[in-house]
A and B are shown apart, each in its own frame.
Chain A
Amino acid sequence: GQQLNQSPQSMFIQEGEDVSMNCTSSSIFNTWLWYKQEPGEGPVLLIALYKAGELTSNGRLTAQFGITRKDSFLNISASIPSDVGIYFCAGSAGAGSYQLTFGKGTKLSVIP
């Protein structure tokens, strides 16, 4: 089946630093989604990418859909304490199947 490799698994950064995380897939996806999950909550959609090569921003967050359609990255600029959480990438192959394949998550800790 499809697999997503998400890295890094965890990050400890200083407040104000930029953060980068990425996901790679063994197969092609038609949609890439990035979610943030805080303890005891459901994942919240941050950015959705629908086209290969697409670069989309949401405030301090920027994500790109890789040209090969097998990878995506998420950047967070000027991190703040409330960025703490687990970030998940997810991909959908589309074509009538809208199930998502999830990465294992990147746990972000921000040191004030």
Chain B
Amino acid sequence: GAVVSQHPSWVICKSGTSVKIECRSLDFQATTMFWYRQFPKQSLMLMATSNEGSKATYEQGVEKDKFLINHASLTLSTLTVTSAHPEDSSFYICSSAPGHQQETQYFGPGTRLLVL
């Protein structure tokens, strides 16, 4: 149980384009999902907390207009990197917390984004 999937697993795009990443909790419902960014050899950096049916809460320094988050259902959250630039290249990871165990996060496999 507690399986989280992400799609795509990797993406290469041109500068200026937008990229959407999907995060799905496959076997449980999640009122809360989290989006992280990870740079090489570093720990995970929380970008935003996504709540089903409401606006996401962004961490300080994360541009909400650049990283659009939508949590339309209890099993799906999406992160859209708008007008991507090379500095947005990174490893993006989502996590999901079951409603009955919200203090425990299960992570997706991550999405490697490369912006040329």
Please list the residues of chain A having a beta carbon within 8 angstroms of any beta carbon in chain B. 30-31, 33, 35, 40-45, 48, 50, 88, 90, 92, 94, 98-100, 102-105
Please tell me if the beta carbons of A45 and B104 are within 8 angstroms of each other in the complex.
yes
The 8 Å CB contact of A92, one of B103, B108, B109, B112, is: B103
Please tell me if the beta carbons of A33 and B110 are within 8 angstroms of each other in the complex.
no
Closest chain A residue, CB of each to CB of B57: A99
The 8 Å CB contact of B97, one of A40, A42, A98, A102, is: A98
Best-buried of A30, A42, A90 by chain B (most CB within 10 Å):
A42
- 8 closest pairs, A vs B, by CB? A42-B107, A31-B103, A42-B110, A92-B103, A98-B102, A102-B43, A42-B109, A43-B107
Please tell me if the beta carbons of A43 and B93 are within 8 angstroms of each other in the complex.
yes
Please list the residues of chain B having a beta carbon within 8 angstroms of any beta carbon in chain A. 2, 4, 6, 32, 34, 42-44, 46, 49, 91, 93, 95, 97, 102-110, 112
What chain A residues lie within 8 Å of B109 (beta carbons)? Answer: 41-42
Q: How far is the CA of A20 from the CA of B106 in the complex (A)?
A: 23
Please tell me if the beta carbons of B46 and A99 are within 8 angstroms of each other in the complex.
yes
Please tell me if the beta carbons of A41 and B102 are within 8 angstroms of each other in the complex.
no
Q: How far is the CA of A41 from the CA of B5 in the complex (A)?
A: 11
20 A-B pairs besides A33-B105, A40-B110 with CB distance below 8 A are: A30-B103, A31-B103, A40-B112, A42-B4, A42-B95, A42-B109, A43-B93, A43-B107, A44-B107, A45-B2, A45-B104, A45-B106, A48-B104, A50-B103, A88-B43, A88-B44, A94-B103, A98-B105, A99-B46, A100-B46
